[in-house]
Copies of this chain bind each other. A is one copy, B any other.
Amino acid sequence: MNAEADGIGKLFRPRSVAVVGASSDPKKIGSKILHNITDGGFTGAVYPVNPKGGTVGSLPVFPGVAAIPDEVDVAVIAVPARGVMNVVRDCCQAGVRFALIVASGFSEIGRREEEREIAAYARERHLRILGPNMFGMYTAAVSLNATFGPPRIRPGGVAIISQSGALGLSMIGRTALENLGLSTIVSLGNKVDVTEVELLDYLGEDAGTEVILIYLEGVRDGESFLRALRRVGRRKPVVLIKSGRSDRGAAAAASHTGSLAGSDRVFDHLIRQAGALRAESIAEAFDYCRFLSSVPLKPCHNTLIVTNGGGIGVLATDAAEKYGLPLYDDVPVLKATFGPGIPEYGSARNPLDLTGEAGPADYERALTAALTLPDVGAVIALYCETAVFDADALAGIFARCFEAYGKAGRPIVFSTMGGEQTEVAASRLRESRIPVFSDVYAAVRCMGALHRYGSGRRVPAEQTDSPGIPAEAVERIAGGARAGERYFLLADEAAAVLDAAAIPLPGRKVARTAGDAIAAAASVGYPVALKIVSRDVLHKSDVGGVALGIQDEKELIDGYEGVVGNVRRRHPGADILGVEVSAMAVPGLELIVGARRDRTFGPVVMAGLGGVYVEVLRDVVFAAAPLSDREAFAMLQQLRCFPLLLGVRGEDRKDVEALVEVLRKLGEIVAHCESIADIEINPLFVYDEGEGVLAVDARILLSPENTEE
């Protein structure tokens, strides 16, 4: 089910559409769809289908799709669920290429079998299916409104893919109201065949689409989705709303890496890594879409704020910090350029406060100067309605500045505060696709999103060599355990995996007697730690199977007997293979790192602040593997504790390079070794620059033999 952008193109430019279930009863969904198609100016042929025959309006009704004396590109199936299979057969017979199954009553109410049967039948006969349980689609390319939503849709450059029916449908009306022109809106429904990935790839290529908005509640094949986001994101912005942020039930995993994840947390990190812009609310997403389809897609370094009201300028400055927008700061240039025109109580710094005394001419002069100042990357223009500058003059100034400089040159965003006259002017400007907001924070938030998108897109694709992990050796170790139907590695096996991958560990030996232990301790060096080795014990410290900080031979003997005795007493059936004697690690900055094969997103790497803080402060980040050096470093930069890695309060910089290498290796292991499901190193001590890292404890879980998805 990979991207067939070519194949799916026909769906968006059909020459003929059949509407199955159309009738003269205007209340039927089929009739609404038919009406929207004929009323919406569809440029192709439309054929109502209904066994009852007759006519609808001026159109003859065909008894079946196969009875239509023309090739049918798209059939919209708006009959009750029980009748869908027959219509699909009819469509296949007629050689229809795409069916939109609007009918609900399938897997969403547990009727998976019926749905699967239809999908399998259609697949064999090369009929592509959207839905079932969807509201149809609109495509501006041929003015086709095959939805049962509002009849009037405003054409434009924004494509919407919605997983929700009712919400998607009600969004259509809102788009018109908010001057959001659509290239397409399509509903995913139950996704038995065509998924968001294929649609995304097509829309990425589609010349009529400038920005893509996706409303998602979940993805099935997250890996493909992330790859598609990455591909498409290089061409145009993808704005994503994913609801279900608070769904805590999703991550019932056995490890920290799993439990900390929470599916949304992981999702959030991964889609940002893939370059998508996540929006929280629909209002925010619409703002992004409208804005990004009207301005040049450039980063907004050196943004300058121009205002005729001091207060609103301060609010914009606050918002710029919140949304990560870098502000222009060359005070001498600002003074020289604007100083002479600004009253005493104004400000020739950034924000540039022209004061309430500024009339239209002052404002236009300053705004034009701002837009032509060489180093300014973007402009935020703020307007407060005043007695000397009413909204009549406003529209012209904004329109002229936007046309001359903003449209193709520098990103500019406007925000106004005032009464009815101001709002009328702003509305009119919005209709002309000039980005005018009624709230400073909303305006600056959009500029911040543009900056993120513009900066990210400019980063060239990176080619880094794989850090090289010994997949065969790892699989051999895992194979031994799995042969015994054991799905976790023992301490010495886990150590062997890390050794094979050249991830540094404390020196260690396994002892089978107290005498062995004495020799082992002498070899790795005191102080040492003791850990039970038993395939029956996963959580060693829970049964007293660990002793730390052993200083000398006497303590060693006591510790050895203690550990073995504790495990015998508390876990009587456990088969004790020995006691691992390891050198106590010199403490470093304590991190937790890991990697696992996520059910949805594939190989995922995690890094976070370790120790007791990991659970409380939840300072953890995720990224899809395999990772490049830059991606691994970018992960670390997102940690709140990142300054600790750079060294604070006179401490030295930590060995970030060694840490990056470990993250990359962990990613490669889960990406390339099928039998490894989950690795966690906790703690990983990170030492000063050049002194490397040390994996103090590692836990490795294996995949079950037959990975069933």
Name A's B-contacting residues (CB within 8 A). 29, 32, 104-105, 108-109, 148-150, 162-174, 176-177, 215, 217, 241, 243-246, 280-284, 308-312, 314-315, 317-322, 344-345, 355-356, 384-387, 417-423, 438-442, 612-613, 615-617, 619, 640-641, 643-644, 648-649, 651
Q: Can you list 12 contacts pairing A with B, beta carbon distance less than 8 Å? A: A167-B311, A170-B384, A170-B419, A173-B421, A177-B419, A215-B311, A217-B314, A243-B311, A280-B318, A280-B322, A282-B315, A613-B613
Residues from chain B with Cβ under 8 Å of A418 in the complex: 170, 173-174
A648 and B612 contact, CB distance less than 8 A: yes
CB contact under 8 A between A311 and B166, given known A246-B317, A281-B439, A317-B246: yes
A648 and B615 contact, CB distance less than 8 A: yes
CB contact under 8 A between A387 and B283, given known A419-B176, A649-B612: no
A420 and B176 contact, CB distance less than 8 A: yes
Shortest CB–CB separation between residue A146 and chain B, in angstroms? 14
Residues from chain B with Cβ under 8 Å of A613 in the complex: 613, 641
Shortest CB–CB separation between residue A174 and chain B, in angstroms? 6
Q: A165–B308 Cα gap in the complex (Å)?
A: 11
Residues from chain B with Cβ under 8 Å of A245 in the complex: 318, 321-322
CB contact under 8 A between A311 and B217, given known A418-B170, A617-B617: yes
A644 to chain B: closest residue by CB: B616
13 more contacts with CB within 8 A, not counting A104-B345, A167-B311, A177-B423, are A164-B309, A164-B311, A166-B311, A170-B309, A170-B386, A174-B438, A176-B419, A282-B440, A283-B438, A283-B439, A283-B441, A613-B613, A616-B640
Q: Which of A105, A311, A319 has the most CB of B within 10 A?
A: A311
Residues from chain B with Cβ under 8 Å of A640 in the complex: 616-617
B386 and A167 contact, CB distance less than 8 A: no
Residues from chain B with Cβ under 8 Å of A322 in the complex: 245, 280
B615 and A649 contact, CB distance less than 8 A: yes
CB contact under 8 A between A612 and B32, given known A167-B309, A174-B419, A318-B246: no
Residues from chain B with Cβ under 8 Å of A173 in the complex: 385, 418-422
B32 and A387 contact, CB distance less than 8 A: yes
Q: A671–B310 Cα gap in the complex (Å)?
A: 36
Which of B167, B442, B651 touches A310 (beta carbons < 8 Å)? Answer: B167
Oligomer copy total:
2
Residues from chain B with Cβ under 8 Å of A619 in the complex: 617
Q: A244–B423 Cα gap in the complex (Å)?
A: 26
Residues from chain B with Cβ under 8 Å of A280 in the complex: 318, 322, 441
Q: A442–B280 Cα gap in the complex (Å)?
A: 11
A172 and B441 contact, CB distance less than 8 A: no
B166 and A312 contact, CB distance less than 8 A: yes
CB contact under 8 A between A311 and B169, given known A281-B440, A612-B648: no
Residues from chain B with Cβ under 8 Å of A177 in the complex: 419-420, 423
Q: A360–B108 Cα gap in the complex (Å)?
A: 24
Residues from chain B with Cβ under 8 Å of A648 in the complex: 612, 615-616
Shortest CB–CB separation between residue A430 and chain B, in angstroms? 15
Residues from chain B with Cβ under 8 Å of A215 in the complex: 311
Residues from chain B with Cβ under 8 Å of A284 in the complex: 441
B615 and A172 contact, CB distance less than 8 A: no
Residues from chain B with Cβ under 8 Å of A344 in the complex: 109
Which of B166, B438, B651 touches A308 (beta carbons < 8 Å)? Answer: B166
Q: A321–B420 Cα gap in the complex (Å)?
A: 35
Q: A179–B442 Cα gap in the complex (Å)?
A: 20
Residues from chain B with Cβ under 8 Å of A345 in the complex: 104-105, 108-109
Residues from chain B with Cβ under 8 Å of A422 in the complex: 170, 173
A356 and B311 contact, CB distance less than 8 A: no
Q: A320–B173 Cα gap in the complex (Å)?
A: 26
Shortest CB–CB separation between residue A317 and chain B, in angstroms? 6
Q: A173–B423 Cα gap in the complex (Å)?
A: 9
Residues from chain B with Cβ under 8 Å of A109 in the complex: 344-345
A246 to chain B: closest residue by CB: B321
Residues from chain B with Cβ under 8 Å of A148 in the complex: 387
Q: A641–B282 Cα gap in the complex (Å)?
A: 33
B315 and A281 contact, CB distance less than 8 A: yes
Q: A217–B312 Cα gap in the complex (Å)?
A: 11
Shortest CB–CB separation between residue A5 and chain B, in angstroms? 27
7 A-B pairs with the lowest CB-CB distances in the bound complex, closest first? A173-B419, A164-B311, A166-B309, A167-B311, A170-B384, A166-B356, A281-B441
Q: A418–B649 Cα gap in the complex (Å)?
A: 55
A388 to chain B: closest residue by CB: B27
B419 and A165 contact, CB distance less than 8 A: no
A167 to chain B: closest residue by CB: B311
A165 and B283 contact, CB distance less than 8 A: no
B169 and A386 contact, CB distance less than 8 A: yes
Shortest CB–CB separation between residue A543 and chain B, in angstroms? 14
Shortest CB–CB separation between residue A80 and chain B, in angstroms? 13
Which of B169, B283, B612 touches A644 (beta carbons < 8 Å)? Answer: B612
Q: A617–B644 Cα gap in the complex (Å)?
A: 10
Shortest CB–CB separation between residue A611 and chain B, in angstroms? 10
Residues from chain B with Cβ under 8 Å of A308 in the complex: 166
Residues from chain B with Cβ under 8 Å of A649 in the complex: 612, 615
Q: A440–B162 Cα gap in the complex (Å)?
A: 17
Residues from chain B with Cβ under 8 Å of A615 in the complex: 643, 648-649
Q: A418–B168 Cα gap in the complex (Å)?
A: 10
Residues from chain B with Cβ under 8 Å of A423 in the complex: 177
Residues from chain B with Cβ under 8 Å of A612 in the complex: 644, 648-649, 651
Q: A165–B612 Cα gap in the complex (Å)?
A: 50
